[in-house]
């Protein structure tokens, strides 16, 4: 009998070459802004960044996040733009830059903090605008949800950052992690060795938007590191044709080990 992890791995292998949405697949409803649109294939290489909504500019990665968040909080099929306001839910996002952030700030008590070492040197810097994942200035058990979307590949001390995310989550809190991640490789590939205050490139440097250095390419041992940190971990490969989201991964870390995936996510795997 195969365990769940193996089944997921086999499904991943089967889905490694996810189908690119065709011309007839690109018409649909955006689950971020709620508008009926024709999604635009703007990036021929990276499907996670493509099929942009012409109204809110959401990428497939953003719409997967919106669906996962909605499903975890009750209903994945309500667009963020129509989600009921609930300021009682505290959400922390590290370095969120996409258009969905403005919707989240209208719904939740939402902190979206950027990493800016220069700004954080000032003693009176705004704690809601700036934060360092490797040493968060929020008390233990502050948040219901923590989101990082394509941030962890840029974090120098990622184990420390995982520990910080765990610490600031409430006992039933959830961590939604999107990241360039390859479930087909076992060991994370280090691109930059981190030695105290200095960095040493061991592979040719790769930069993402804004000349942000990529420290590593994550493999499955990331999930083990998350488990060692204390999380119950779910790695999901999800395809949402109705929102023009081709298959891609998202990782959910739950502090409470009795956490079960909601139906909306189970059915989308
Ligand atoms: Zn949209």
Q: How many residues does the chain have?
A: 269
Within-domain flag for 269: no
> How many whole angstroms from 59 Cα to the centroid of ligand 1?
9
264 within domain boundaries: no
* pLDDT above 50 for 49: yes
Would you call 246 exposed, middle or buried from its count of C-beta atoms within 10 A (0-12, 13-18, 19+)? buried
Q: For residue 147, how far is its CA from the centre of ligand 1 (angstroms)?
A: 20
Band (7; pLDDT cuts 50, 70, 90): low
Residue 265 covered by a domain: no
Ligand 1 midpoint to CA 33 (Å): 4
Distance 105 CA to ligand 1 centre (A): 16
Flag whether pLDDT at 15 surpasses 50.
Answer: no
CA of 65 to the centre of ligand 1 (A): 13
Task: Provide the token pair at 186.
Answer: 């076992």
- What confidence score (pLDDT) does residue 206 get? 84
Distance 2 CA to ligand 1 centre (A): 39
| pLDDT value of position 127 | 92
Q: Token pair of 138, please?
A: 């929020």
Q: Given the DSSP bridges, would you call strands 90-94 and 36-38 parallel, antiparallel or unpaired? A: unpaired
C-alpha 199 – ligand 1 centre gap (Å): 39
Q: What is the pLDDT of residue 215?
A: 84
Distance of CA 119 from the midpoint of ligand 1 (Å): 32
- Predicted confidence at residue 88, as pLDDT, reads 97
Give the per-residue pLDDT at 32: 98
pTM of the model as a whole: 0.90
* pLDDT tier, 3 (very low <50, low <70, confident <90, very high otherwise): low
Domain count, the chain: 1
Taking the centre of ligand 1 as the mean of its atom positions, its distance from the CA of residue 56, in whole angstroms, is 4
What pLDDT sits at residue 213?
A: 83
Q: What is the pLDDT of residue 5?
A: 52
55 CA to middle of ligand 1, Å? 5
> What's the confidence (pLDDT) of residue 17?
64
124-170 per-position pLDDT tens digit: 999 999 999 999 999 999 999 999 999 998 899 999 999 999 999 99
Is 267 within the bounds of a domain?
Answer: no
93 lies in a domain? yes
Query: Which domain does 205 fall in, by range?
Result: 4-259
Dist. CA 212 → ligand 1 center (Å): 26
Q: How far is the CA of 246 from the centre of ligand 1 (A)?
A: 16
The mean pLDDT of 58-73, rounded to a whole number, is 97
Summary mean pLDDT of the chain: 90
Q: What is the mean pLDDT of residues 11-21?
A: 63
- Ligand 1 center from residue 142 Cα (angstroms): 30
- Tell me, in angstroms, the distance from the centre of ligand 1 to residue 31's CA: 7
Residue 257: the pLDDT is 97
Q: State the distance from the centre of ligand 1 to the C-alpha of 183, rounded, in angstroms.
A: 29
Q: 62 C-alpha to center of ligand 1: Å?
A: 10
C-alpha 46 – ligand 1 centre gap (Å): 19
Q: The domain that contains 134 carries what CATH number?
A: 3.40.50.150
């Amino acid at each position: 009998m195969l365990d769940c992890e193996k089944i997921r791995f086999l499904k991943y292998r089967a889905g490694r070459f996810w189908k690119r949405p065709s011309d007839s697949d690109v018409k649909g409803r955006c689950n971020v802004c709620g508008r009926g649109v024709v999604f635009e294939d703007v990036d021929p290489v990276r499907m996670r960044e493509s099929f942009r909504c012409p109204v809110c500019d959401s990428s497939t990665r953003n719409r997967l996040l919106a669906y996962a968040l909605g499903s975890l909080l009750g209903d994945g099929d309500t667009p963020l733009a129509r989600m009921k306001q609930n300021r009682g839910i505290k959400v922390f996002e590290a370095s969120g830059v996409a258009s969905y952030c403005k919707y989240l700030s209208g719904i939740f008590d939402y902190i979206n903090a950027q990493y800016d070492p220069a700004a954080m040197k000032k003693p009176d810097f705004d704690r809601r605008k700036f934060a360092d994942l490797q040493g968060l200035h929020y008390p233990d058990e502050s948040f219901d949800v923590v989101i990082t979307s394509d941030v962890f590949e840029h974090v120098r001390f990622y184990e420390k950052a995982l520990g910080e995310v765990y610490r600031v989550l409430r006992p039933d809190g959830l961590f939604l992690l999107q990241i360039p991640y390859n479930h087909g490789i076992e060991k994370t590939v280090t691109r930059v060795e981190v030695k105290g205050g200095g960095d040493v490139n061991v592979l040719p440097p790769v930069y993402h938007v804004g000349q942000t250095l990529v420290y590593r390419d994550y493999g499955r041992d990331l999930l083990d590191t998350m488990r060692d940190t204390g999380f119950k971990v779910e790695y999901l490969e999800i395809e949402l044709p109705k929102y023009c989201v081709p298959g891609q991964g998202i990782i959910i870390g739950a502090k409470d080990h009795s956490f079960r995936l909601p139906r909306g996510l189970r059915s989308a795997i």
